[in-house]
Chains A and B, each alone.
Chain A
């Protein structure tokens, strides 16, 4: 954009715009004045500090159902933990260094203990196996403070839909709904009765408002059937396997449900990816991008300051300039012209197998 010619008058009159002239002059004095006394960060103040991680100790470790273990975590000195609200999750750093998110499934009113429940996934990334087999009472963990990507808004009527271990964030919501006297119903669908944790706790809240469905006796439930449990005008909270969420999203327009809350987890799995290479600058390091990871994730390991946001190719925050190489654009944000000019969103866009993309970084 032209930064030397001031814009013309709003109504096409042949004279400079006085308002624009004045604020331009003001800005030209203001910017260099910053840094002077009263116009700067006080040098007496300490530098910004990070919030320290939580140090936690495992106080209980026991089976909650077949292949599901329930963990209670507390501050080692018994001090109160940061408060949380239904839907919140904890990012745990396991002793191996693996980081995993788990929804808090205890009672927010209990300030001394967090509870999580973990299903054993034998062929997963190893985090759940480590929690099942290697953690024991007394083990120390660090965690970030609870954060909430699935906040419960306590609408007057709610339907809570849980698939499998997806019950964890919904259990505290059910508890809050029962306490606040909302018109609520919870449906928990699982493979078999013995694999579903917290059934007694749920029934104790209000047996008439809890429906347990097992694939054993009825087969995988249909989304329309699930939504049929909704009280009139209900807000639906859904947590479960991706196909379940997708089916519920597709079926939602049918009444009686009115709105849908679900937890959004930034990056989706890479569909049909091939390994390729990115190079940072013409002379820079070459980084291999595996088939199942995004170029953004790989680049961020060496350039942690690189901005990003949606991980899904629609917000454009991570946009970088391509210097050479043939990309495979997978974003929904950039125009043909921008692609042609070398713009690339590394959160989703890739390249053919063996190709090298040189990025201006």
Chain B
């Protein structure tokens, strides 16, 4: 498979393998960025979306496996599947912890589960060709979403604002470990999509459908979390103005930048290696307490 040539400073042809991790959530406060419920819950939306979302990535990629004709890509996809499976479980633990703290995420998660099983799951009654096309189409959705996860991962690795705000160190490690693996494997879904269908239409369709959907799910998620937080009693409603203040203090990624980043995905010469740094990601993974705890 011909790949765009990257500058030599970019690490390419990385071997991907899942890393086992151990997190201890017993000490995690409900507002793990102290006194910042809105910023906390904006990031918490990840825990609502990711367990179901990443399990869906795994199902889609398992369905796509028999269509892959390149051995190296196949190995990368298998590594990707293992990493995503571990991510899903790590975020699930946080979700379970939230429930234990009296914040019931289940109404939202039920909808996400419907989205990934019923709407984006395998559809009955399709012809073989439609079925194949549906697999490739969903790979294109994953590739577009992975563009954002790499963007967010890159942000998490470069977010001193969270340290300044004294965010919980275990949660920071989860965000940065996960973010680093997203940066590490940022090319896999895109390369798989291009392998299965190099057409430009497929790529932009992937972004046109999943980009706005992701933004909408996020905004919905923040509203839901703030309403479901038993300590807030519905007093806080999210506003863009407040979000902008959090962005300025480095507590949240900049929505304008993330939309611009989404537009870069549409450029004809785009490749995921152009965004983020593998060196930085691998450097973090070599220090991550959760990864080191499990490596023993």
Q: Do A and B bind each other?
A: yes
Q: Which residues of A contact B (CB under 8 A)?
A: 1, 3, 6-12, 17, 19-20, 23-24, 26-27, 31-32, 34-35, 38-42, 45, 47-51, 83-85, 88, 144-149, 151, 153-155, 235, 249-250, 252, 258-261, 264, 266, 305, 307-310, 312, 314-317, 332-333
Complex Cα–Cα for A146 and B11 (A):
12
- With a cutoff of 8 Å between Cβ atoms, the chain B residues found around residue A8 in the complex are 107, 110
Q: Which residues of B contact A (CB under 8 A)?
A: 1, 8, 11-15, 17-20, 58, 62, 65-72, 78-79, 81-83, 85-86, 89, 107-108, 110-111, 113-115, 117-121, 123, 126-127, 129-130, 133-134, 136-137, 195-199, 201-202, 213, 216, 220, 224, 227, 278-280, 282-283, 286-287, 292, 294-296
- With a cutoff of 8 Å between Cβ atoms, the chain B residues found around residue A27 in the complex are 118-120
A15 → B minimal CB distance (Å): 14
- With a cutoff of 8 Å between Cβ atoms, the chain B residues found around residue A19 in the complex are 216, 220
Complex Cα–Cα for A26 and B201 (A):
19
Q: Are A149 and B14 in contact (CB under 8 A)?
A: yes
Complex Cα–Cα for A250 and B195 (A):
42
Complex Cα–Cα for A149 and B242 (A):
43
- With a cutoff of 8 Å between Cβ atoms, the chain B residues found around residue A48 in the complex are 1, 67-70, 195-196
Q: Are A35 and B130 in contact (CB under 8 A)?
A: yes
Within the complex, which residue of B13, B83, B198, B224 is in contact with A45, where a contact is CB–CB below 8 Å? B198
Q: Are A309 and B82 in contact (CB under 8 A)?
A: yes
Instruction: List 9 A-B pairs, minimum CB-CB distance, nearest first.
Output: A309-B82, A149-B15, A259-B286, A259-B287, A27-B119, A34-B133, A315-B82, A153-B279, A7-B110
Q: Are B69 and A149 in contact (CB under 8 A)?
A: no
Q: Are A153 and B119 in contact (CB under 8 A)?
A: no
* CB-defined A-B contacts under 8 Å, sample of 10: A7-B111, A20-B114, A42-B199, A144-B71, A147-B14, A151-B11, A151-B278, A264-B19, A315-B18, A317-B62
Complex Cα–Cα for A11 and B108 (A):
9
Complex Cα–Cα for A153 and B12 (A):
12
Q: Are B130 and A50 in contact (CB under 8 A)?
A: no
Within the complex, which residue of B65, B117, B129, B198 is in contact with A35, where a contact is CB–CB below 8 Å? B129
